[in-house]
Chains A and B, each alone.
Chain A
Amino acid sequence: MKPLQKPLARRQFLKTSGGVALFIGVSGILPQLWSCSDKRAVEKEVLKHRLTAWVQLTGDGRVIIYNPAAEMGQGSMTSLPVIFAEEMDADWDRVEVVFSPQVATIYGSDGWSTERKVMLSAGSRITSGYFNSMRKAGAQARYIMRHSAATHWDVPLSEVTTAPGRVLHPQSGRSLSFAQMVPLLQLPEALPEVADSDLKSPEDFRLIGKVVPRTDIPSKVDGSARFAIDLQLPGMRYAVLERGAMHGASPTLENREAILAMEGVLKVVLLEHAVGVLATRLEQALEAKKAMKISWAPSMANGFNSQDTFKEYEVMAGNPQAGRVLVETGNFKAAMGSAAKTYSADFLNDYVYHAQMEPLNAVVQVAEDLLSARVWVGSQQGFDEKLGVPQLLGIAPENVTIELQYLGGGFGRRSMTDFVTECAGMAREVPGTPVKLLWTREDDIRYGAFRPLSLQRLQACTDTHGKLTGFSHCIVGDGGNLVASGIRNEHYDIPNQFAEWREATHGIRLKHWRSVGHGPNKFAIECMIDEIAAGEGRDPVDFRRQLMAISPRALATLEKAAEMARWGGAVPDGRARGVAFLERSGTLSTGICEISVDRASGLIRVHRFWNALDAGIVVQPDNVKAQMEGGILMGISSVLKEQVTIEGGKVQQSNFNDYPILRMQEVPESVETALIASGEPPQGVGESGTPLVAGAIANAFFSLTGKRLRHLPFTPARVLEALKS
């Protein structure tokens, strides 16, 4: 490590030229990952927490590490602290993890923007976004431990080393635990900058890449894990809203007086999109909601019928005028002109709903003077780290404190802040009183924000050698990147490619849904590749093998998955296999599934699923496998069962009885995952499983029946229709 020039006083905030800063407190260390332009913000944070931004050492030997990311089941409460502890050489058995404060200037990741740091748990970007910074901060902390011990023992720094949880001077045989170091901690005269060469070599990792049990799991098996919905504060009141079933419709409450007269009702609040009620008890609020008589002024969604819209989309896709061009390499039209064979197919998908198990909720307390607020929420955070509350209340962002809680599922829904600002709006009505806002499951579905419905028109061509020379992808649908993500084919050798998006708008609320556009787009692409392979008389794996010649890492996932599934080997009677490949958030993965079909009922059953992925360095291998298992099961659920329909502008589904998701009896016999060893930087994993499923199932269905499934979800009715075609 290179020493910096500037001497530093104890308890002084530091900033290095490399942008890594540390603060040392009375009995602890405050490393700060990136440069912070506002020193006072850091100092204020330090005062609030006494010691540290990233780690706190206690006299009894605990190492408390702050996790800046949301924990929604993806494992950030373990993976980020593991990275830090690895470089600090902390004893993992003494590590405790808590959520960091929601202050992006200190705890944000620079993975989202070059302009500023952002706290946002989305897009599978947490591990990749924090990996280097967490390592460097951990290494800084270790340096300070060594420096302090060297000073205490009066020996050269170079002679001081560490073992897990200890500082050692091997030459004299002396050692001190991190706990014993607490009163001895002091800042070096010059703060080191951590170079990559100062970090541990991957072969020395004892935490990264090893099986470390998740820190949040014990509290999730004894009922003590706290989600925002579990908050109970003295004097807390309850809020529920009636939003109707038409997105954007405006309410008029016809029986305001009667509602106000109901037991426990404190206030009725008219919002643009809903009528809110505040009551002393939850059951009173729910009763009042049920009793509301509301007339709705229709919105843009009025009259919209989701299942009729595909016809319009077909017409739009046929318009000679191109939409917004997303990809253009080579000359697709020329390739089509000289093609030996051409292919064309439309793929459709319906709206799907997040169905996170914890319905949306929040608790907000607005101060009596209306100048500050506290918010307890399970949120995926956001570009606005204060989740829209300052703007709503017209107060300064620093006067809003966000207390992040565990998320009972996110899947993209909790990166929206509608439920947070609703709660703040209700809490403002009773200043000083904490208010818990609850969405019922019916609210959660009806006023959901869905993965958009879309149509994909794919065209492709091959030359006389059967080589894929041109590929074109036209998406018709609402939502910009929500429908466009996953449209690129960078790991397939296709010289002429074209992709475009044609916009439709219906006034239906839309949002990122686990893997975003990759779900529908990879479905369409992987089915088309399969159709071309079949058209050229090629085996689907062999055909992809040739296409992946330009991408050895992608090819390795294909080869591994094929090996795991014994592709080409015997398949049990009545079953068949299908393959799909994708890139999502930097991770490459190939999936192969084995299915059967009940030809009488139209029910598809997935028996087995194999997948191989290259996600770069894997911090928590067992957790990556868990993410793939869960992602694939969520994929199976959405592909076989899930469908939101809209009639006359109104959402038709309202609970798990009419929006069924995958149940225990429908799970495959096994989901097997292989992780391909890599020294490359970590990539995102949480969304790599889900979008593999549609293509793999549809391709297996073709192999089994000779028929193509081209409309998600593959409900029994659609399967029967395909079988009859």
Chain B
Amino acid sequence: MPMPVYTLHINGETRTAEVPGGTSLLWVIREHLGLMGTKYGCGIAQCGACTLHVDGDPVRACVLSVEQASKGQKIVTIEGLSTDGRHPVQKAWIEAQAPQCGYCQSGQIMQAVALLQTTPHPTRDEIKRYMNGNLCRCGTYLRILEAIEIASGRMDTQSGSS
């Protein structure tokens, strides 16, 4: 049985994937396209480890099917956020020494970038509310908060992610 071919616009490139319809976008970008920065954590949009941007909005890739994501939208993953890991949010993350095990951090960073793109100077409560869907078992939340506050206001001069 021939499988359908889906076309995805990811990180400025056009990629195709031959997978059964209904396959989660997460498996497609990880196991088919090899973009491993986006992580699998729960598969039911509860942890946020697979957060990426679809037309600038933070989305949980695990609950998006490949066909939903191949309608011409622009997808950006952690690998597409900057060419050299020097996005202001990434730099702030290093400054705050935020990650521990690091597994959830791609998703945290993608969620934080989306926040700062729409709200460049969020309050602490706004940050907490916006980041509430991203779990971190190592308990790095306080440093994530600090990193977002460091990055807040530094976004104006950078090129943006999507």
- Interface residues of chain A, those whose CB is within 8 Å of chain B, are 72-75, 213-214, 216-227, 229-230, 232, 238, 263, 281-284, 355-359, 406-411, 438, 440-441, 622-623, 626-627, 629-634, 637, 655-657, 661-665, 667-668, 670-671
Contact = CB atoms under 8 A, between A and B. Distances in A.
B19 interface: yes
A638 to B, nearest CB: 11
Contact of A217 (B77, B99, B133): B99
Contact of A73 (B36, B37, B47, B138): B138
25 contacts: A72-B101, A216-B102, A217-B94, A217-B99, A222-B81, A223-B77, A224-B79, A229-B39, A283-B27, A355-B137, A356-B103, A357-B39, A357-B47, A410-B101, A441-B44, A630-B138, A631-B139, A632-B139, A655-B44, A661-B135, A664-B128, A665-B132, A667-B128, A667-B141, A667-B142
Given A223-B38, A631-B139, 4 more contacts: A229-B36, A263-B1, A410-B101, A665-B129
Given A655-B42, A657-B44, A358 B138 contact: no
B162 interface: no
Nearest to A223: B37
A663 B139 contact: no
Contacts of A230: 30, 36
Contacts of A668: 142
Contact of B49 (A357, A631, A670): A357
The SS class assigned to the B binding surface is: loop
B134 A218 contact: no
Interface residues on B, range: 35 or more
A226 B36 contact: yes
A661 B135 CA distance: 8
Interface of B: 1, 19-20, 23-24, 27, 30-32, 34-44, 46-47, 49, 77-79, 81-82, 84-85, 90, 93-94, 97-106, 109, 127-129, 131-145
Contacts of B94: 213, 217-218, 221
Nearest to A226: B36
Contact of B37 (A222, A623, A637): A222
Contact of B139 (A72, A74, A441, A633): A633
A357 B136 contact: yes
B72 to A, nearest CB: 23
A223 B31 contact: no
Contacts of B133: 663
Contact of A409 (B90, B132, B137, B144): B137
A438 B43 CA distance: 13
Nearest to B82: A222
The 4 closest A-B CB pairs, nearest first, are A223-B37, A633-B139, A73-B100, A408-B103
A630 B101 CA distance: 11
